[in-house]
Chains A and B, each alone.
Chain A
Amino acid sequence: MWTWFHKLASPPHFYRTAAILSPWLAMPGLALIAWGAWQGLFVVPMDYQQGDAFRIIYVHVPSAYLSLMAYMIMATSGAIGLIWRMKLAHAVAASAAPIGAAFTFLALATGSIWGRPMWGTWWEWGDPRMMSELILLFLYFGYMALRSAIDDTAKADKASAVLALVGIVNVVIVHFSVEWWSSLHQGQTVFKKGTMDAEMKTALLIMILGFTLLFGAMLLRRIRTEVLYRERRTRWVREMILSPEGGS
């Protein structure tokens, strides 16, 4: 029963599967984002207190969610790579980092833009939610820096996987920061009943799904490039490039 799993873990097979899969995630992802953004920006009613300014939630929440999701993928792949010595897992971890960092930046930036008119501040040092999300961004930077600092790929994989595992603690802190401590940031909305207008929430869930699919497509594309680079001296890559189709 594990044959499909072992087959997927083989770089050439994954390289080809990812190419087929990627557009099937990207197209519905983009369609959902387009529809969700139109709904969120023009159709759903404005908030009774924040007016139209609340609409930034349609970028902020999906980005913040993916900033944590990407980290968990990065850390889990790192652990799989360490335990099962699966080379593909390390390629997944390496590919997830820059995308996760981008979404973390987006979450911080949109939060700051919203915070200025609503809270009355761009940024508050010492707020647990804001600080832990900023630390998440630095963890991503540290992870990428560590990878590029070590020339030997196998060593870089191991060291960065350990760093990613240590950082999991921060993901938990980001998530629960608004519950454990007093924070300027409001508490959970999305998975709590009766806190959000149904129409507003549907558009938000569509945006989250769209962002996730697009993230999946981006991740697959990055993994393909990573696999190609890591396997550059192998026969299948050489054969593929020299074949009449030139490899696609």
Chain B
Amino acid sequence: MKPRQQRMLAVGLAVLGIAIAAGLTLRAFEDNMMFFVEISDVVAGKHPSERNFRIGGLVVGGSVHREEGSLDMSFEVTDTACTVPVIYSGVLPDLFREGQGVVAHGRMGDNGVFVADKILAKHDENYMAPEVAESLSKHQQDIQAAVARGTEGCNPDDS
């Protein structure tokens, strides 16, 4: 083997080795790489109980209720299969809307209600003009319907 080919092999093997090492490390810490826990996993009890964590999902249409004259509010978050009720007191980001993605930070109460101390809006990968969005509202309604169906298909045991 020529020295050049040896160097090529060394560089190739080094990169491969680092990639494998990184892959294994990331797999081992997979749970910590997640920014939020899916609703189905929360319902199935696969969430940290002793510390704060984040849940992520869609705000159920028509579930947002505000207390008159205060910042207290409640709503439900779904992954279109399972649903978790959330209570929160504070300011909401601009993109917080029914049927939209949301990430809530807080902890699970004993009564199955998630007590949030911070709400973040999660934007999806769709960008369109307002008129286009209106004409697409049929599709939007389908999503809303799926969101509204809520717990219908929730099987926390098989996930």
Number of interface residues of B (CB under 8 A): 44
Which of B56, B91, B127 makes the CB contact (< 8 A) with A197? Answer: B127
Q: Decide: B129 and A46 in contact? CB cutoff 8 A.
A: yes
Residues of chain B within 8 A of A83, CB atoms compared: 4, 7-8, 11
Interface residue stretch chosen among A11-19, A188-196, A224-232, A240-248 = A188-196
Q: Which of A12-64 contact B (CB under 8 A)?
A: 45-50, 53-54, 57
Q: Decide: B35 and A48 in contact? CB cutoff 8 A.
A: no
CB distance from A102 to the nearest CB of B (A): 26
CB distance from B78 to the nearest CB of A (A): 15
CB distance from B96 to the nearest CB of A (A): 8
CB distance from B157 to the nearest CB of A (A): 21
How many Å lie between the Cα of A166 and that of B96 in the bound state? 40
How many Å lie between the Cα of A183 and that of B125 in the bound state? 12
> What 0/1 readout, one digit per residue, does chain A (83-126) give for beta carbons within 8 Å of chain B?
11000000000000000000000000000000001111100101
Which of A82, A118, A128, A172 makes the CB contact (< 8 A) with B93? Answer: A118
Q: Decide: A117 and B93 in contact? CB cutoff 8 A.
A: yes
Q: Decide: B120 and A124 in contact? CB cutoff 8 A.
A: yes
With known contacts A118-B94, A119-B122, A54–B36 Cβ distance under 8 A: no
Q: Decide: A120 and B123 in contact? CB cutoff 8 A.
A: no
How many Å lie between the Cα of A47 and that of B134 in the bound state? 12
Tell whether A149 is near chain B: CB-to-CB under 8 Å: no
Which of A46, A127, A182, A183 makes the CB contact (< 8 A) with B130? Answer: A46
Residues of chain B within 8 A of A181, CB atoms compared: 30, 33-35
Tell whether A168 is near chain B: CB-to-CB under 8 Å: yes
How many Å lie between the Cα of A47 and that of B119 in the bound state? 22
How many Å lie between the Cα of A119 and that of B35 in the bound state? 14
Tell whether A137 is near chain B: CB-to-CB under 8 Å: no
Tell whether A169 is near chain B: CB-to-CB under 8 Å: yes
How many Å lie between the Cα of A169 and that of B94 in the bound state? 35
Q: Decide: B120 and A119 in contact? CB cutoff 8 A.
A: yes
Q: Decide: B132 and A48 in contact? CB cutoff 8 A.
A: yes
Q: Which of B101-134 contact A (CB under 8 A)?
A: 103, 118-134
Q: Decide: B93 and A189 in contact? CB cutoff 8 A.
A: no
With known contacts A197-B127, A197-B129, A119–B95 Cβ distance under 8 A: yes
Q: Decide: A49 and B123 in contact? CB cutoff 8 A.
A: yes
Residues of chain A within 8 A of B73, CB atoms compared: none
Q: Decide: B18 and A169 in contact? CB cutoff 8 A.
A: yes
- A to B CB contacts below 8 Å, 16 in the list: A45-B131, A49-B95, A50-B94, A79-B11, A82-B7, A117-B94, A119-B95, A120-B120, A124-B35, A165-B15, A173-B22, A173-B26, A181-B30, A183-B35, A189-B127, A197-B127
Q: Which residues of A contact B (CB under 8 A)?
A: 45-50, 53-54, 57, 79, 82-84, 117-121, 124, 126-128, 162, 165-166, 168-169, 172-173, 180-184, 186-189, 192, 195-197, 199-200
Across the A-B interface, give the 7 residue pairs with the lowest CB-CB distance, nearest first: A120-B93, A48-B133, A45-B129, A169-B22, A189-B125, A196-B127, A48-B130
**Other A-B pairs beyond A45-B130, A83-B4, A119-B122, 17, CB < 8 Å:** A46-B129, A48-B129, A48-B134, A79-B11, A117-B93, A120-B91, A120-B120, A120-B121, A127-B35, A128-B35, A165-B15, A182-B34, A182-B36, A186-B125, A192-B125, A196-B128, A197-B128
